[in-house]
Amino acid sequence: MLNRRALMAALCAGSLIASSGMALAQDKLYIPLISKGFQHQFWQAVKAGADKAATEFGVEVTFEGPDTEAQVDKQMDMLAAALAKKPAAIGFAALDSQAATPLLKQAKDAGIPIIAFDSGVDSDIPATTVTTNNLAAAALAADKMAELIGGAGKVALVVHDQTSRTGIDRRDGFVNRVKEAYPNIEIVDIQYGAGDQLQSTEITKAILTAHSDIKGIFGANEGSAIGVLNAVKETGKTGVVVIGYDSGKLQKDAIRAGEMAGAITQNPVGIGYETVKAAIAAVKGEKLAGTIDAGFAWYDKTNIDAPEIAAVLYD
Q: What is the pLDDT of residue 23?
A: 32
Q: Kindly report the average pLDDT of the chain as a whole number.
A: 91
Per-residue pLDDT at 59: 98
Helix (H) or strand (E) holding 307: helix 307-310
pLDDT of residue 311: 87
Q: Map residue 166 onto helix, strand or coil.
A: helix
Which range (3-17, 62-76, 231-245) has the least confidence?
3-17
pLDDT value at position 1? Answer: 39
CA distance 100 to 121: 8
> Is pLDDT of 264 > 80?
yes
Give the pLDDT of residue 43: 92
Given a cut of 90, is residue 100 above it in pLDDT? yes
Q: Which residues contact 149 (CB under 8 A, 6 or more apart)?
A: 155, 185, 215, 216, 241
pLDDT band at 24 (very low <50, low <70, confident <90, very high): very low
Segment holding 60, helix H or strand E: strand 60-64
Q: How far apart are CA 270 and CA 272, in angstroms?
A: 5
- Go through the domains of the chain in sequence order and give each one's CATH number: 30-132+268-295 (3.40.50.2300), 134-265 (3.40.50.2300)
Summarize the confidence of residues 16-44 as an average pLDDT.
70
| Phi/psi of residue 262, nearest 5 degrees | 170, 180
| pLDDT tens figures, 227-254 | 999 999 999 999 999 999 999 899 999 9
Taken in order 186, 192, 198, 203, is the CA torsion positive or negative? negative
For residue 69, what pLDDT is reported?
Answer: 87
Angle at 11 between CA 9 and CA 15, to 5 degrees: 115
State the sign of the Cα–Cα–Cα–Cα dihedral 244, 72, 62, 102: positive
Q: What is the pLDDT of residue 38?
A: 82
